[in-house]
Amino acid sequence: MTKELMAVEGGGKGPVYLRFSERTIARTESYAGGELNVDVDDCNEVVGIEMLATEPEEIAALASVAQTYDLHLGRLFSVRKVG
C-alpha cells in the first residue's frame, strides 16, 4: 500500500524532513553518504526522511527509497515546460 506524504517540515537553507507518519522511530537508515536519513518504525514502515542536501545524489537516493518503501512523493515535485 502506497504511503502518502503527510507534511514537509523545515526547509529554507536547512534540512528538510518529509513526514509519512507519527509513529515512534525504531531505527534510522542512511543513504547518499549520510545526507539522506530514513526513519523507520518497528514494522519497517517509513516514519520520515531527513534530507540534509538536495543535490542529484540525494534526489536519486530519495527516488530509490521511495520505490523500495512504496512512498508517494508527487506533492514534492512539479513538472514544467522550459523554453
Residue 5 amino acid letter: L
Residue 80 amino acid letter: R
pTM, full prediction: 0.86
Query: Confidence band (pLDDT; 50, 70, 90) for 77?
Result: low
Residue 52 is predicted with a pLDDT of 94
Q: How many other C-beta atoms lie within 10 A of the C-beta of residue 60?
A: 13
Stronger pLDDT, 78 or 32, i.e. the higher one: 32
CA 68 vs. chain centroid, Å, equals 12
Backbone angles phi, psi at 68, to 5 degrees: -60, -45
Q: How far apart are CA 55 and CA 27, in angstroms?
A: 24
Helix (H, G, I), strand (E, B) or coil at 38: strand
